[in-house]
């Protein structure tokens, strides 16, 4: 008799696990916003958060956080879709957002997304299938670069074909890395003369962002060298401000 009761209990547990019974409101995030984002000049960006529930409709509410945590959020009026477009920022700063998804009276809180606005143009680099750039020797071909947010509209461009690889010596071992670009065709960038070969300096050790600028000014008396500062976004993974 005890064996039969034990078998019945085990079968009941197995049925609950397989069928999902007893947890009708179970849900989870299938997509959350990127942790680090850059808002170009004169543009808002889309933050996306999606959740699924076994029963009931999923509703969304986006919040703005004052300190980068989910403990100090204020509901954004009208932001009740899975996609939230940020405002167009006019002042430099970092803004924090997160999303709360609700189904069957149960809520789930997303991770916090930071959105930085520096006032600088943004250079986007997309590699094929978002492949990671891990080599200083091997070029990744069929990548694309786009520039947006330049105050001079003529400087903006979209999907210029390029190859890309890492560069540098000791700088390549740092968390923020420099890169070399080899465009398929000559291209003007940030008002600088058209060329195929370009370099993205990481500036990881230069908190002032002045050292490379001063060095280039020094070189101008000896060679033809130019420099501009942009925000750099590689395969949708923010890499920060590069020269």
Domains in the chain, start-ordered, CATH in brackets? 24-117 (2.60.40.10), 122-242 (no CATH)
Distance CA 75, CA 189 (A): 40
State how far the Cα of 47 lies from the Cα of 32, in Å rounded to an integer: 8
If pLDDT is split at 50, 70 and 90, which confidence band does 213 have?
Answer: low
Q: Which of 39, 119, 50, 120 is nearest to 87 (CA)?
A: 39
Which pLDDT score is estimated for 72? 84
Angle at 37 between CA 63 and CA 213, to 5 degrees: 140
Say if pTM beats, i.e. exceeds, 0.75: no
Task: List Cα–Cα distances, 97 to 122, 236, 240, in angstroms.
Answer: 21, 18, 19
Please check whether residue 131 is in contact with residue 166, taking contact to mean a CB–CB distance below 8 angstroms.
Answer: no
Which token pair is 26? Answer: 């179970």
pLDDT tens by residue, 31-83: 999 999 989 888 899 999 999 998 889 999 999 999 999 998 999 999 999 99
Please calculate the CA angle 23-24-29 and round it to the nearest 5 degrees. Answer: 90
Q: Tens digits of per-residue pLDDT, 192-207?
A: 889 999 988 887 776 6
């Amino acid at each position: 008799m005890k064996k039969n009761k034990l078998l019945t209990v085990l079968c009941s547990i197995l049925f609950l696990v397989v069928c999902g019974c007893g947890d009708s409101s179970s849900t989870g995030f299938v997509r959350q916003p990127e942790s680090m984002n850059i808002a170009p000049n004169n543009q808002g960006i889309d933050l996306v958060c999606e959740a699924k529930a076994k029963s009931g409709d999923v509703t969304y509410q986006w919040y703005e956080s004052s300190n980068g945590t989910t403990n100090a959020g204020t509901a954004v009026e009208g932001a009740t879709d899975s996609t939230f477009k940020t405002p167009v920022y006019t002042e430099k700063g970092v803004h924090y957002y997160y999303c709360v998804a609700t189904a069957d009276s149960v809520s789930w809180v997303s991770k916090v997304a930071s959105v930085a606005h520096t006032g600088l143009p943004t250079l986007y680099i997309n590699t094929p299938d978002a492949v990671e750039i891990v080599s200083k020797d091997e070029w990744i071909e069929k990548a694309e670069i786009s520039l947006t947010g330049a105050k001079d509209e003529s400087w903006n461009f979209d999907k210029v074909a390029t190859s890309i690889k890492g560069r540098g010596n000791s700088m390549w071992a740092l968390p923020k890395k420099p890169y070399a670009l080899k465009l398929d065709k000559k291209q003007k960038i940030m008002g600088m003369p058209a060329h195929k070969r370009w370099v993205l300096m990481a500036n990881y050790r230069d908190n002032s962002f002045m050292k490379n600028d001063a060095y280039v000014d020094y070189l101008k008396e000896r060679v033809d060298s130019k420099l501009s500062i942009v925000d750099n976004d590689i395969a949708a993974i923010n890499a920060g401000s590069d020269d």
